[in-house]
Amino acid sequence: MLSVTAVSILLSQVFSNVLLVKLFTELLKSYGYGLGDTNVWLTLAATSTIAGNLTILGAASNIIVLETLESKMGASITFTEFLKVGAVVTPVNTLAYLPFLLA
């Protein structure tokens, strides 16, 4: 489950969390994980969601919201500004979820 957590958070920054879940689900199924492996699926769901908080690219919804902010409010948030907050929020959320997922 720790591997699922690490891969989910890291690769969500490359593929975005929704695409990562689609790809990773197929990979996990090919390794034999099925409906009864709820801890793995809950870990993937939780950590891919959390991963969206790390960078702007972590979730497609981030880009949509930031484009709306820019077009309607005339304000913008840079990748670095987003990362400064995400680098705090993501580990805190991960550390909060992991004990429940590992239990």
Look-up: residue for tokens 């720790």? 2
The DSSP-derived string for 14-60 is HH-HHHHHHHHHHHHHHTT--TT-HHHHHHHHHHHHHHTTTSGGG-H
- Which residue range is the domain that position 51 belongs to? 2-102
Overall number of domains in the chain: 1
pLDDT tens digits along 24-49: 999 999 999 999 999 999 999 999 99
Tens of pLDDT, residues 44-76: 999 999 999 999 999 999 999 999 999 999 999
Give the count of beta carbons closer than 10 Å to the beta carbon of residue 51. 28
